Amino acid sequence: MELSPLAREKLAKIGELTEEEKAKLKYAGQLNALLADYFTHKLSTDDLWKELKKHKEEGQAGILKEAQLKLLDTLNLTVSDADFDNRRKAMLAVETLKDGNDYLRLEQDLKSLENLRRQYREEIEKTYKILKSRVEQQVKQATQQLSRQAAAQGAAIDIEGSVEASTKATPEWKSFMAKHESTYNQKFKDYLDKLLKKLQS
């Protein structure tokens, strides 16, 4: 396909990538591939550590910080405990490869994030149990008459399913979840931002 004169002019202005830019692109691609294999459990934490150590020995120490930043970027309140632990182990393993590493501080920061995630879940569970208990009484009263009619017809009513659905449909639950999500997402974001600044320094 023939390029237009304008496109050729723009390409000429961009010019060729420098050797340093080419190397950065190459290592960025390799890092993405390594992390993809780690996230899909094709690589263990030890395997990831060994691969990143090779890059460091090849003069690409910057890849260590990039790996930690990419790992940090995958953390959120709702990631599974197993995935959170997987990322935590990787970040700590990478930290051991850094010159002048601060393993203990990073370990403590990640523990704080883990505690925030635990508080987030515990508050949801506690509030859900309280609301469910209230709704359960209301549903049981409402279904007593229906249960007699259903039994006479040889049918059954799923009270537990009705209670769960009704609890999650209440205005109190929806209001709680909206505020809870907003509050904890902000706390988590603020903490990640602080950790990000520490990793970038």
Shared-domain flag, residues 169 and 192 = yes
Domain boundary among 101, 130, 162: 101
pLDDT at position 1 is 47
Residue 65 lies in domain: 17-101
Note whether 150 and 85 are same-domain residues: no
Assigned domain for 12 exists: no
Q: For residue 38, tell me if it sits in a domain.
A: yes
| pLDDT above 70 (res 198) | yes
Mean pLDDT of the chain: 87
Confidence of residue 158 (pLDDT cuts 50, 70, 90): low
> Could you tell me which residue, 166 or 88, shows the higher pLDDT?
88
Give tens-digit pLDDT for 113-156: 999 999 999 999 999 999 999 888 887 776 766 666 665 565 55
Specify the number of domains making up the chain. 2
What is the pLDDT, as a whole number, of residue 6?
A: 72
Between 193 and 23, name the one with better pLDDT: 193
Total-model pTM: 0.78
Query: Distances in Å between the alpha carbon of 21 and those of 9, 16, 17, 59, 80?
Result: 21, 10, 6, 15, 36
In a domain, 91, yes or no: yes
User: pLDDT by residue (tens digit) across 39-81?
Assistant: 999 999 999 999 999 999 988 888 999 999 999 999 999 999 9
